[in-house]
């Protein structure tokens, strides 16, 4: 499951990011950057459009039923615009998407856009807590591993990193539920909140942790947090594995730099050598890594949400998949894809904008 | 004669390699007063390793051993890392080879110089800034105010090296190790930079170890010269007695030096067979 | 034996064959000195042996039901216990290795050549060809792979073949990037110019001279990607979009064990260990291969 950005992608993206970053300087540059992002979005639309076309299920049949006469069938086909050339259909599809028209979902019976708006906050909440866990643990672990290269701590972190590549997220979710929910009872089970608390808090942001805090409902807050802890930690594990590995390799490179030795020659305390001289220059590269990891957590939440019955976009997508609800599938793909692309591109550009060597 | 500033006996630096441990410095001994000592030798002869072991900055897996390494009455070998850190910069300092790689790319020049002083003598920002500017002026930088706020990639190589010198001298150390301070610079600025080092060292009455592969340069700026080859000292003499050097390696180096009144068609190539047998 | 070794390690090989065999031997022996790589290679050998000799290794049938013996815990008779239909889980895991091996092989065989070709053509011709091809590649690279694979399978319909196609479609861009980068480094080199001067056509230059030089970095990449491919395939199986029951696909097995995870943990857990072991094996081997074949990329992940 492309759960973490694979190294080649990220380096390829980074080089693309360098280009994008250079482009982002100056007005013409900004225009070019916008163009690149727009082209990527158009690419995404083209792919979803293509997927929508190659579906073996005939969309007309789905509407008129398979006992309709040929005339009724043709009329419906015309009404749906399916008799027009593909390119025209594509542009009208792009127009629909831009105006927020993603069609009806056959499984929920509502407009796909409305569904997505309702399900997205749950995904955002889980992925955000996940990335926070990943950063809070992954960065210090990576730095420690680099400082003590070859030590047991380094080995442990290395193994964790490889496990991040080899453990199926859904499996880890199931095992986690068996151990921490059923076995030890440390966390709450599947779902976002206990039925008892459901509807107690008026949804404002759709993010339960924030909504319950705003309403001052501590009990609801703790219940939501205890539901969130396990799935977010599992997402956090995968981003930790990736972030720690990247931090380690950046730091190893830094620690062999002459200017780090210079700092030591000056008698600068070790803590300051590590954080101010070695770590500080890579923090921008790390932002890019964290961005990539965040984007892939949004993607990875598909599996985790299925395991934890988490009412987010990933679960919406899988339910739609099983019901062959193509409008919903494509809508969810578009949303996840767009957020993914956006985070990617923005963190790429940040890299160059924030670095003093490239500022000027 | 007063007690020497630095005494080293049987210093050895070892690196493990796949083919077994390799001694890159093999049991060298020398001592140094408040004078200017030059260390010359070809690339890979262990000059930098010698310099860095005095600061105990050889990175693992390298290992340093010595029978004795005493700086101003302090036994460096037995010293805790914490105490060693108090010495670094404040009492023993080192000018690094290439300013392009030795200055932190994301800190301004002024910050980096200030840090060297602040680490050992905390002081208010204002005062620190004044000292930094003063020091920049001492290394003959014209607009210290402006230069202090530049990032290293915005200054030239010669300027970068002067910044490095300012940074290493601002805490007023007793011993300065200059590891090929000019090898990354244009010939035209080399002399300028060395003159600055020379002047400041004399003025502060410090000890200097000047590391270089350029025999002529070392002879010009130093009182005494050590010639290293293959990790060992092969010759030790006063700078003015250089032409009386006996060791074939030194003689070879001397012969390979171009002279002003050059009448040779071709410079002789160092003949290694002469001393390799010894 | 030592004569063979001397011949292989000869400093001045007398034939092209001797040179390339010698190089292969050196890489191989360097690989064998790396314990993790050896472990990885062993795991993969075990996987292949399991797949080939499944009927002899598996003590029971993979699909034979034994309802009297449902959900039996691991025992001497059933090493990994039995599932909800009384099938022996160990036997199913053994047979499942065939599916896993087939999926990774097919994905590699489809996506690597596509990526290589796109990248080599792009790098070799440069200019507009390059811009257009890399534009498309970059668009695919910025897409979320798993989601795209899901959407493709949704469109094509569930099943192993469609899962393979969907994964392959999302896997090629990385190889295109790598092949392009490699091609550019030697596009202007003397030996390519020499071949061109001899009148070789572009097709010939790319197929005979450019592609082989991109091979080693692509092999490393493919090996490292195997873990991801296995996980994606298992994920599709888990969601019911990949291999269909009663096929003993590991992801699908985990999915069916899901309902029993709290009481009969072994049903879902055991196939997971198989997935982890095989993925780790490919990671180890990939890491080792990279260290041997491409030292400059070390610590890159
Ligand atoms: N990490 C290491 N492992 C093994 N050998 C090393 C390592 N670092 C340095 N060496 C070896 O130590 C020897 C001495 O190195 P040193 O840097 O002191 O040479 P040098 O005299 O300063 O040369 P140069 O004039 O090129 O700066 C060299 O032969 C080098 O190969
Ligand atoms: Mg040196």
Instruction: Name the residue of B44, B214, B230, B234 whose CB sits within 8 Å of the most ligand 1 atoms, as the mutation to test its pocket.
Output: B44
Say whether A266 and B98 touch across the interface (CB within 8 A). Answer: no
Count of pairs with CB atoms under 8 A, one residue in A, one in B = 73
Does some domain include residue C115?
yes
CB-CB neighbors (< 8 A) of C301 in chain A: 7, 161, 245-246, 249
Dist CA C34 CA C285 (whole Å): 9
Say whether B104 and A263 touch across the interface (CB within 8 A). Answer: yes
- Domain carrying residue C175: 46-61+78-288
Dist CA C125 CA C179 (whole Å): 13
User: From the list A258, A280, A355, which residue is nearest B102 (CB)?
Assistant: A258
Give ligand 1 pocket residues (Cβ under 6 A): B 15, 17, 22, 24, 41, 43-49, 62, 213
Mutation to test the A interface, candidates B16, B55, B85, B150, most A Cβ within 10 Å: B85
Does some domain include residue C7?
no
The residue whose CA has the least distance to atom 4 of ligand 1 is B15
* pLDDT by position in tens, chain A (length 360): 334 454 434 443 444 444 444 444 567 777 878 888 888 888 888 888 888 776 656 667 666 666 777 888 788 777 777 777 878 888 888 888 888 888 888 878 888 888 888 899 999 999 999 999 999 999 999 999 999 888 888 888 888 888 988 999 999 999 999 899 888 888 888 888 887 777 777 777 888 888 888 887 888 888 888 899 999 999 999 999 999 999 998 999 899 888 999 999 999 998 999 999 999 888 888 888 898 899 888 888 888 999 999 999 989 988 888 887 888 888 888 888 888 888 878 877 777 677 666 554
Q: What are phi and psi of A189, to 5 degrees?
A: -85, -155
Q: What is the pLDDT of residue A109?
A: 83
Mean pLDDT of B248-255: 71
Q: Is the minimum CB–CB distance between A355 and chain B shorter than 8 Å?
A: yes
Residue of C nearest to A245 (CA): C301
Given pLDDT bands bounded at 50, 70 and 90, which one contains residue C211?
confident
Q: Is the minimum CB–CB distance between A185 and chain B shorter than 8 Å?
A: no
| Residues in CB range of C174: below 8 A, 6 or more apart | A6, A8, A9, A12, C115, C141, C221, C225
Question: Is the Cα dihedral B25, B30, B32, B38 positive or negative?
Answer: negative
ipTM over 0.90: no
Give the residue from A227, A342, A336, A350 showing the smallest Cα distance to A286.
A350
User: From the list B89, B151, B154, which residue is nearest A265 (CB)?
Assistant: B89
The domain limits of chain B are: 1-91+174-278, 99-172
Query: How many Å lie between the centroid of ligand 2 and the Cα of residue B68?
Result: 23
Given pLDDT bands bounded at 50, 70 and 90, which one contains residue C274?
very high
Dist CA B197 CA B213 (whole Å): 18
Q: What are phi and psi of C158, to 5 degrees?
A: -65, 160
Angle at which helix A7-23 crosses helix A27-54, to 10 degrees, equals 140
Give the residue from A40, A34, A24 showing the smallest Cα distance to A295.
A40
Give the residue from B97, B173, C195, B272 showing the smallest Cα distance to A262.
B97
Report the number of distinct structural domains present in chain C: 1
Mutation to test the C interface, candidates A170, A185, A334, A339, most C Cβ within 10 Å: A170
Mean pLDDT of B216-238: 85
Shortest Cα distance, chain A CAs vs residue B16, angstroms: 15
DSSP state of B92: E
User: From the list A2, A246, A307, which residue is nearest C145 (CB)?
Assistant: A2
Mean pLDDT of C3-28: 77
Instruction: Name the residue of B48, B96, B234 whose CB sits within 8 Å of the most ligand 1 atoms, as the mutation to test its pocket.
Output: B48
Give the residue from C156, C177, C261, C265 showing the smallest Cα distance to C221.
C177
Angle at A304 between CA A300 and CA A310, to 5 degrees: 120
Q: Looking at the domain covering B1-91+174-278, what would its CATH class be?
A: alpha beta
CB-CB neighbors (< 8 A) of A270 in chain B: 85
Say whether B102 and A357 touch across the interface (CB within 8 A). Answer: no
pLDDT single digits (tens) B134-148 = 888 888 888 889 998
Residue of A nearest to B52 (CA): A265
Residue with the bigger pLDDT between A117 and C36: it is: A117
User: From the list A162, A182, A322, which residue is nearest C240 (CB)?
Assistant: A322
Residue A359's Cβ-count burial label (10 Å; 0-12, 13-18, 19+) is exposed
Say whether A8 and C177 touch across the interface (CB within 8 A). Answer: yes
Shortest Cα distance, chain C CAs vs residue A217, angstroms: 32
Chain A window 242-281: which residues touch B at a Cβ cutoff of 8 Å? 257-259, 261-270, 276-277, 280-281
Does some domain include residue C196?
yes
Query: How many Å lie between the centroid of ligand 1 and the Cα of residue B44?
Result: 5
Contact A59, A80 (CB under 8 A): yes
Task: Report DSSP letters for A210-251, one per residue.
Answer: HHHHHHT-HHHHHHHHHHHHHHHHHHHHHHHHHHHHHHHHHH
pTM, 2 dp: 0.83
pLDDT exceeds cutoff 50 at B277: no
Say whether C272 and A333 touch across the interface (CB within 8 A). Answer: no
Q: Which two tokens stand for residue B118?
A: 């602040």
Dist CA C140 CA A202 (whole Å): 40
Instruction: Name the residue of B21, B23, B47 whose CB sits within 8 Å of the most ligand 1 atoms, as the mutation to test its pocket.
Output: B47
Q: What is the pLDDT of residue A338?
A: 87
Residue of C nearest to A16 (CA): C138
Name the least confident of A59-68, A128-137, B262-271, C151-160. Answer: B262-271
CB-CB neighbors (< 8 A) of B83 in chain A: none
Say whether C147 and A302 touch across the interface (CB within 8 A). Answer: yes
Dist CA A192 CA A198 (whole Å): 9
Given pLDDT bands bounded at 50, 70 and 90, which one contains residue C301?
very low
CB-CB neighbors (< 8 A) of C174 in chain A: 6, 8-9, 12
Contact C24, C11 (CB under 8 A): no
Say whether A268 and B115 touch across the interface (CB within 8 A). Answer: yes
User: From the list A6, A56, A167, which residue is nearest C276 (CB)?
Assistant: A167
pLDDT single digits (tens) A7-41 = 434 443 444 444 444 444 567 777 878 888 888 88
Mutation to test the A interface, candidates C36, C40, C123, C155, most A Cβ within 10 Å: C155
Relative to the CA of B213, which ligand 1 atom is closest? 25
Dist CA C228 CA A49 (whole Å): 26
Dist CA A128 CA B14 (whole Å): 49
Q: What are phi and psi of B89, to 5 degrees?
A: 85, -55
Dist CA C289 CA C14 (whole Å): 27
Q: What is the pLDDT of residue B264?
A: 64
CB-CB neighbors (< 8 A) of C156 in chain A: 54, 56
Q: What is the pLDDT of residue B203?
A: 86
Ligand nearest to the CA of B46: 1
Q: What is the pLDDT of residue A263?
A: 93
CB-CB neighbors (< 8 A) of A321 in chain C: 150, 153-154, 239, 241
Tell me the β-bridge partners of B92: B88, B175
User: From the list B104, B119, B153, which residue is nearest A267 (CB)?
Assistant: B119
Tell me the β-bridge partners of B227: B40, B235
CATH code at C120?
Answer: 1.10.3720.10
Say whether C146 and A162 touch across the interface (CB within 8 A). Answer: no
Q: What is the pLDDT of residue A149?
A: 83
CB-CB neighbors (< 8 A) of C265 in chain A: 175, 178
Q: What is the pLDDT of residue A10?
A: 42
A42: Cα separation from own chain's centroid = 19
| Percentage of chain B exceeding pLDDT 90 | 13
């Amino acid at each position: 499951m492309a759960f973490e950005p694979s190294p080649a992608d990220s380096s390829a993206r980074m080089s693309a990011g360098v280009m994008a970053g250079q482009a982002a300087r100056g007005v013409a540059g900004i225009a070019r950057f916008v163009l690149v992002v727009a082209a990527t979005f158009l690419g995404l639309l083209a792919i979803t459009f293509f997927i929508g076309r190659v579906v073996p299920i005939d969309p007309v049949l789905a509407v008129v039923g398979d006992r309709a006469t040929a005339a009724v069938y043709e009329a419906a086909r015309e009404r749906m615009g399916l008799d027009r050339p593909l390119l025209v259909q594509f542009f009208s599809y792009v127009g629909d998407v831009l105006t927020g028209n993603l069609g009806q979902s056959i499984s929920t019976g509502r407009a796909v856009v409305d569904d997505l708006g309702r399900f997205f906050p749950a995904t955002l909440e889980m992925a955000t807590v996940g990335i926070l866990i990943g950063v809070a643990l992954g960065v210090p672990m990576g730095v420690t591993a680099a400082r003590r290269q070859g030590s047991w701590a380094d080995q442990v972190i290395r193994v964790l990193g490889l496990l991040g590549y080899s453990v199926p997220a859904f499996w880890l979710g199931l095992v986690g539920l068996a151990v921490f929910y059923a076995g030890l009872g440390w966390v709450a089970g599947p779902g976002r909140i206990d039925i008892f608390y459901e509807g107690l808090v008026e949804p404002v942001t759709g993010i339960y942790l924030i909504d319950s805090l705003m309403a001052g409902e501590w009990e609801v807050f703790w219940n939501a947090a205890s539901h969130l802890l396990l799935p977010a930690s599992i997402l956090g594990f995968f981003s930790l594995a990736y972030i720690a590995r990247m931090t380690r390799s950046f730091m190893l490179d830094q620690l062999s730099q002459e200017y780090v030795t210079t700092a030591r020659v000056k008698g600068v305390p070790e803590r300051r050598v590590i954080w101010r001289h070695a770590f500080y220059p890579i923090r921008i590269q790390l932002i890019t890594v964290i961005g990539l990891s965040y984007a892939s957590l949004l993607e990875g939440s598909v599996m985790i949400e299925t395991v934890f019955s988490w009412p987010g976009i990933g679960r919406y997508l899988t339910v739609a998949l099983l019901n062959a609800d193509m409008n919903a599938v494509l809508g969810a793909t578009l949303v996840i894809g767009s957020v993914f692309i956006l985070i990617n591109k923005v963190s790429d550009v940040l890299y160059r904008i924030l670095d003093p060597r490239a500022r000027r | 004669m007063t007690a020497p500033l630095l005494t080293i006996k049987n210093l050895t630096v070892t690196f493990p390699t796949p083919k077994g441990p390799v001694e890159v410095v093999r049991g060298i001994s020398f001592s140094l007063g408040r004078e200017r000592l030059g260390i010359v030798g070809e690339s890979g002869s262990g000059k930098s390793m010698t310099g860095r072991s005095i600061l105990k900055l050889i990175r693992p897996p390298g290992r340093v051993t010595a029978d004795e390494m005493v700086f101003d009455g302090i036994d460096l070998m037995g010293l805790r890392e914490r105490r060693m850190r108090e010495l670094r910069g404040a009492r023993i300092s080192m000018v690094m080879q290439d300013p392009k790689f030795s200055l932190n790319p994301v800190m301004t020049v002024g910050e980096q110089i200030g840090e060297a002083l602040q680490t050992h003598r905390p002081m208010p920002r204002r005062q620190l800034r004044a000292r930094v500017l003063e020091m920049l002026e001492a290394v003959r930088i014209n607009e210290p105010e402006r230069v202090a706020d530049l990032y290293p990639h915005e200054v030239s190589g010669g300027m970068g090296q002067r910044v490095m010198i300012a940074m290493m001298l601002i805490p007023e150390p007793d011993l300065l190790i200059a590891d090929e301070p000019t090898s990354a610079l244009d010939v035209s600025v080399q002399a300028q930079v060395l003159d600055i080092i020379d002047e400041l060292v004399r003025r502060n009455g410090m000890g200097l170890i000047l590391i270089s592969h350029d025999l002529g340069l070392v002879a010009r700026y130093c009182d005494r010269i050590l010639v290293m080859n293959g990790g060992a000292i092969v010759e030790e003499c006063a700078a003015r007695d250089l032409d009386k050097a006996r060791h074939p390696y030194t003689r070879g180096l001397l012969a390979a030096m171009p002279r002003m009144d050059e009448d040779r068609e071709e410079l002789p190539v160092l003949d290694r067979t002469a001393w390799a047998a010894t | 034996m030592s004569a063979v070794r001397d011949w292989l390690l000869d400093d001045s090989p007398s034939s092209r064959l001797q040179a390339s065999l010698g190089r292969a031997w050196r890489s191989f022996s360097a690989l064998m000195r790396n314990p993790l790589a050896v472990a990885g290679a062993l795991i993969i050998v075990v996987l292949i042996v399991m797949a080939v000799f499944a009927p002899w290794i598996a003590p029971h049938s993979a699909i034979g039901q034994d309802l009297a013996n449902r959900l039996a815990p691991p025992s001497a008779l059933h090493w990994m216990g039995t599932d909800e239909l009384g099938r022996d889980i160990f036997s199913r895991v053994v047979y499942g290795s065939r599916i896993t091996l087939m999926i990774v092989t097919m994905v590699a065989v489809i996506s690597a050549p596509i990526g290589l070709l796109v990248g080599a053509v792009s790098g070799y011709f440069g200019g507009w060809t390059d811009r257009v091809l890399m534009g498309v590649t970059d668009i695919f690279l910025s897409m979320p792979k798993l989601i795209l694979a899901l959407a493709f399978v949704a469109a094509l319909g569930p099943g192993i073949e469609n899962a393979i196609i969907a994964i392959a479609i999302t896997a090629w861009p990385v190889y295109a990037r790598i092949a392009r980068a490699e091609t550019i480094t030697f596009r202007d080199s003397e030996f390519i110019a020499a071949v061109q001067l001899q009148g070789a056509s572009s097709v010939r230059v790319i197929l005979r001279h450019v592609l082989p030089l991109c091979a080693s970095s692509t092999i490393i990449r493919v090996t490292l990607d195997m873990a991801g491919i296995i996980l994606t395939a298992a994920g599709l199986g888990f969601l019911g979009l990949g291999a269909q029951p009663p096929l003993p696909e590991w992801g699908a097995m985990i999915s069916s064990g899901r309902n029993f995870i709290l009481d009969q943990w072994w049903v879902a857990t055991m196939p997971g260990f198989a997935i982890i072991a095989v993925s780790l094996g490919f990671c180890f081997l990939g890491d080792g291969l990279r260290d041997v074949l491409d030292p400059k990329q070390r610590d890159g992940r």
